[in-house]
A and B are shown apart, each in its own frame.
Chain A
Amino acid sequence: MAVPLTPDEALDGPPLSYNPELERIEIELLLEGVFRHYGFDFRSYAYASIRRRLWKRTEAEGLSSISELQALVLHDSAAMERLLLDLSVSVTAMFRDPGFYQVFREEVVPLLRTYPFIRIWHAGCSSGEEVYSTAIVLEEEGLLERTRIYATDINDAVLQQARAGIFPLNRMQEYTENYIRAGGKRSFSEYYTAKYDGALFSPSLTRNTVFSQHNLVTDRSFSEFTVIFCRNVLIYFDRDLQNRVHTLFYDSLVMLGILALGSKESLRFSQYEPCYEKLHPREKLYRKIR
């Protein structure tokens, strides 16, 4: 879980004296070093956001340059763990974009009914909020029994949170509102038990879910899927890496399978645009047609 920023560290930029060209060199060297020493490949991440995150970690470690951060993480694997969390955690919410889940229920669920067995991949599932959201929709539509959900993330720490299914109690009001707007059919509180400051979600929601580590940058496809969710993960990648991941998704979808992206992500800048049709004018739900 990402730690809330204090106001003064939140700007996450270099000191004013910093030379932008030199900064880029230092960032590229650090990412190259991390890749060669630890095998984590962040070299094709979107520059503007990785830069913010690197400065956030630099400041949190009490350092003043990216080169100092490079020395620290290369020599101290505990510092690398902390950086890995910063670089790989994405922040999400249950039923983020309720309109999306409503359209999923209305437009995609009827298509899924035609399959005897449904395989869903949540790629970059982070702490699992959207995995549980999907499972709730499928449960209510009577499809969860014949569905297997593969929920993957690069980061094992967030996967453990996802497996545990405990989310902050203080988000439940927002999530309940999202659930209702998404067309939820029951009372949202049926799905969790409040305990201390956490909401423990019913383990039966993930009875057909496999959580496992998978790296979108370096790992290959591992099955054929009816639906792939990858929402607000690709925004952290540059165009080139986005295209590589789109190849992976295209190869991993069955014909007429569904690709679900974040509301501001688009196939417009990818070479795969002609291979999909849009299922909805607004929500980013695509169907593989060739």
Chain B
Amino acid sequence: MAYEIIVVGTSWGGLAALRELIRELPAGFGLPLVIVQHRHKRSGQLLPSLLQDCTPLFVCEVDDKAPIETGTVYVAPADYHLLIEDGHFALSTDEPVRYSRPSIDVTLVSAADSYGEHSVGVVLTGANADGARGLKRIHDRGGLALVQLPSTAESPAMPTAALRSVPNARALSIEQIAATLASLPVESARHSERR
């Protein structure tokens, strides 16, 4: 199975986990990696710049309608939901879902519905249950579901909820998640017109 997009959701403890994860990704990483991290609505550009410090991949906050490109790390902007369409992003200021905007569930569901079995969902450390329902959608659509092993998470609640929702998800350490992502088969010719 060739994969085309990865969505990583995290909350409490996420910064350290994300830095550890993307540090391990090789410079020629061939997939777009989309990060949805709960954070304060005025947190600004700090997260992307802290992530950029530890990877040769290009890191940016998503602008509305930006095309999705391989080998790029995208960060969901604070105070917007991040939706994924085939080949590009769309933002929304619809109501927070379970008190969160961005909502990890919303982005995971959107990736699953647009990319189906070509999508990868990853749920890392966090102190709530966001991501559990979205990861289930990724799994149900035939995508790959990865979860941080709760015992290795700074805050195990979110990975635990994700595993309860998707018992078949693979529970791995951050290092193992990075190795798994780096070895994923990548579709050579991206099709831009799949709807």
Contact = CB atoms under 8 A, between A and B. Distances in A.
Contacts of B80: 235, 264
A110 B106 CA distance: 41
Interface residues of B, number: 34
Given A7-B98, A48-B83, A235-B91, A16 B62 contact: no
Contact of B90 (A14, A48, A53, A98): A48
B9 to A, nearest CB: 14
A47 B95 CA distance: 18
Secondary structure of the B contact surface, majority rule: mixed
B92 A236 contact: yes
B62 A235 contact: no
Interface residues of A, number: 39
Contacts of A4: 95
B110 interface: yes
A73 interface: no
Interface string B61-94: 1111110000000000101100111000011111
A185 interface: no
Contacts of A98: 42
Secondary structure of the A contact surface, majority rule: loop
B27 to A, nearest CB: 26
Interface in A210-266: 232, 234-236, 238-239, 242, 262-266
Contacts of A7: 97-98
Contacts of B187: none
A20 B116 contact: yes
A269 interface: yes
B65 A10 contact: no
A10 B137 contact: no
A5 B64 contact: no
B90 A46 contact: yes
Contact of A268 (B61, B63, B91, B105): B63
A59 to B, nearest CB: 14
B61 A48 contact: no
B104 to A, nearest CB: 12
A239 B65 contact: yes
Q: Which of A4, A46, A99, A239 gathers the greatest number of chain B CB atoms within 10 Å?
A: A46
B113 interface: yes
B97 A5 contact: yes
B7 to A, nearest CB: 14
A94 B106 CA distance: 25
Contacts of A64: none
A61 to B, nearest CB: 18
A186 interface: no
Contact of B63 (A16, A238, A265): A265
A21 interface: yes
Given A48-B83, A48-B84, A263-B77, A91 B98 contact: no
A49 interface: yes
B100 to A, nearest CB: 10
B52 interface: no
A201 to B, nearest CB: 21
Given A10-B97, A235-B64, A264-B63, A49 B113 contact: no
B124 to A, nearest CB: 21
Interface of A: 2, 4-5, 7, 10-11, 13-14, 16, 20-21, 24, 46-49, 52-53, 90-92, 96, 98-99, 181, 232, 234-236, 238-239, 242, 262-266, 268-269
Given A13-B113, A235-B91, 12 more contacts: A7-B97, A11-B97, A16-B137, A48-B92, A49-B90, A234-B64, A235-B80, A235-B92, A235-B93, A264-B91, A268-B63, A269-B66
